[in-house]
Amino acid sequence: MKLSLKRVHIFFLASYAPSLLNFRGPLIRDVIAAGHRVSVGAPDITPEIRARLEELGAKVYDTPLQRTGTGILADLRYGLVLRRLISRIQPDTVLTYTIKPNIWGAFAARLAGVPSVAMVTGLGYAFTDSGVNSFRQRLVRFVARFLYRSATNCNAWVIFQNPDDRDDFCKAGCLADVGKAGMVNGSGVDMAHYQRAPLPDQPVFLMIARLLRNKGVREYAEASLSILQQYPEVRCLLVGPFGEGPDGISKTDLDRWIGGGLEYLGPQDDVRLALAQARVYVLPSYREGTPRSVLEAMSMGRPVITTDAPGCRETIRDGVEGFLVPVRDSQALVIAMKRMLDDPSGTQNMAEAAFRRAAEKYDVHAVNRKMMSLIGLSEQHDKAVD
């Protein structure tokens, strides 16, 4: 192997430090393996996360950020910190993801004279109707769309994970130049890490998500309580941390569901153990970019029940790898769960199909090659491997 003629410096900017390993780790590894330099920035980087990123070969910077909330002064301070940092380290490209890094990272990169690429990995709370149509949410949506339009004017590329997000983002006026839009199949899934596991005989359903309304946690919990009343041998598991912000699930609701038989396992550093227990994976989200947990479940050979919603409906085909149900419809979810329980052989066939689809469409290395091509690293990557 020999290094490329031009060694490019990429700065990854995140709002949540663990995501640099969990979601971007394989991409960081592939970029470095191609002979390029990588720096990363995120708030609240723990010593363990810092050490693991440095083991990959990345230079690590702490970029303080108030992840939730709409405090404009705090966001402006964040943008100022980013501008100073980018001006100091002088990357060739800034690669951002999630809303605050996408917006303030684009402004900071422009002011520092550095090209930027934004990854819209989901439209999130500012775009998703979670049933709480308050003045505050309407104001948040208006401000977010205005800022996004200004930020994308600064970007060289805006990369989406499904066509619904791209189209809705453009319809909302957040991207004036549609020629900047690129597309990848999510963040991909590491098929070697999430290795296929035998489908257990015991009927166990599993959902993994932050405890937010727009993830469909309420619908899953209510459907689970209904199933548990009719099928005493079934287990319904929920994994994930409490969600921050106005869309979060209350502890009162969670305690009520637990009282009805739902098993809450809390946040898990490694979800493979939970996925290995599950016979069926469930994610009734209101919308996603591409749901990472669904890809992980498919990679481990699990059939999926998810919603006919942007991002989610891209992952599986109804009746092939699992079932698609309407958004916010716990009764439809109950029916789909019953179909899985009443047809064990059909569930097994869906598990086989889910694994094949993960390997053919979502393998992380294929997704990374497309991403590297979009940010201009494909030629260098070709030269790096001899």
- Inside any domain, residue 270: yes
For the chain, give the secondary structure using H, E and C: CCCCCCCCEEEEECCCHHHHHHCCHHHHHHHHHCCCEEEEEECCCCHHHHHHHHHHCCEEEECCCCCCCCCHHHHHHHHHHHHHHHHHHCCCEEEEECHHHHHHHHHHHHHHCCCEEEEECCCCCCCCCCCCCCHHHHHHHHHHHHHHHHHHCCCCEEEECCHHHHHHHHHCCCCCCHHHEEECCCCCECCCCCCCCCCCCCCEEEEECCEEHHHCHHHHHHHHHHHHHHCCCCEEEEECCECCCCCECCHHHHHHHHHCCCEEEECCCCCHHHHHHCCEEEECCCCCCCCHHHHHHHHCCCCEEEECCCCHHHHCCECCCEEEECCCCHHHHHHHHHHHHHCHHHHHHHHHHHHHHHHHHCEHHHHHHHHHHHCCCHHHHHHHCC
Whether residues 232 and 85 share a domain: the answer is no
Amino acid of residue 185: N
Q: Cα–Cα distance between 5 and 20 in angstroms, integer?
A: 27
Q: What are phi and psi of 62, to 5 degrees?
A: -90, 125
Q: Residue 127: CA atoms inside 13 Å, Cβ hemisphere, count?
A: 27
Whether residues 114 and 53 share a domain: the answer is yes
Rounded to the nearest angstrom, the gap between the alpha carbon of residue 332 and the centroid of all alpha carbons in its chain is 25
Report whether 40 contacts 61 (CB < 8 A): yes
Q: Cα–Cα distance between 224 and 216 in angstroms, integer?
A: 12
Whether residues 166 and 237 share a domain: the answer is no
- Inside any domain, residue 1: no
Report whether 297 contacts 197 (CB < 8 A): no
Whether residues 303 and 176 share a domain: the answer is no
pLDDT in tens, 83-134: 999 999 999 999 999 999 999 999 999 999 999 999 998 886 666 555 556 6
Rounded to the nearest angstrom, the gap between the alpha carbon of residue 254 and the centroid of all alpha carbons in its chain is 23
Amino acid of residue 378: S
Whether residues 23 and 145 share a domain: the answer is yes
Q: Cα–Cα distance between 218 and 249 in angstroms, integer?
A: 8
| Residues contacting 248, CB < 8 A, separation 6+ | 211, 212, 213, 242
Query: Which domain does 219 fall in, by range?
Result: 204-361
Whether residues 65 and 117 share a domain: the answer is yes
**pLDDT at residue 1 above 50?**
no
- Inside any domain, residue 193: no
Percent of the chain scored above 90 by pLDDT? Answer: 81
What does the pLDDT read at residue 383?
A: 36
Report whether 70 contacts 119 (CB < 8 A): no
**pLDDT at residue 384 above 80?**
no
- Inside any domain, residue 256: yes
- Least reliable range by pLDDT among 67-71, 154-158, 362-366, 369-373: 67-71
Q: Cα–Cα distance between 193 and 127 in angstroms, integer?
A: 32
**Domains identified in the chain, total number:** 2
**pLDDT at residue 2 above 50?**
no
Instruction: Give the residue from 13, 119, 107 showing the smallest Cα distance to 60.
Output: 13
pTM for the model:
0.83
Whether residues 182 and 241 share a domain: the answer is no
| Residues contacting 45, CB < 8 A, separation 6+ | 17, 53, 60, 62
What does the pLDDT read at residue 128?
A: 59
What does the pLDDT read at residue 207?
A: 98
What six digits make up the tokens of 15? 């709002």
Q: What value does the mean pLDDT take over residues 353-378?
A: 92
Percent of the chain scored above 70 by pLDDT? Answer: 92
- Inside any domain, residue 199: no
What does the pLDDT read at residue 385?
A: 34
CB atoms within 10 A of CB 289: 24
> At 73, is the pLDDT very low, low, confident or very high (cuts 50, 70, 90)?
confident
What does the pLDDT read at residue 133?
A: 61
Whether residues 31 and 63 share a domain: the answer is yes
- Inside any domain, residue 352: yes
pLDDT in tens, 323-340: 999 999 999 999 999 999
- Inside any domain, residue 194: no
- Inside any domain, residue 195: no
pLDDT in tens, 157-209: 999 999 999 999 999 999 999 999 999 999 899 999 999 999 999 999 999 99
What six digits make up the tokens of 106? 């684009």
**pLDDT at residue 382 above 50?**
no
Whether residues 59 and 140 share a domain: the answer is yes
At CB < 8 A and 24+ separation, what contacts does 170-174 make?
172/127, 172/145, 173/145, 173/149, 174/145, 174/148, 174/149
Whether residues 172 and 37 share a domain: the answer is yes
Whether residues 337 and 373 share a domain: the answer is no
Q: What value does the mean pLDDT take over residues 250-261?
A: 95
Whether residues 344 and 374 share a domain: the answer is no
User: What CATH number does the domain containing 66 carry?
Assistant: 3.40.50.2000
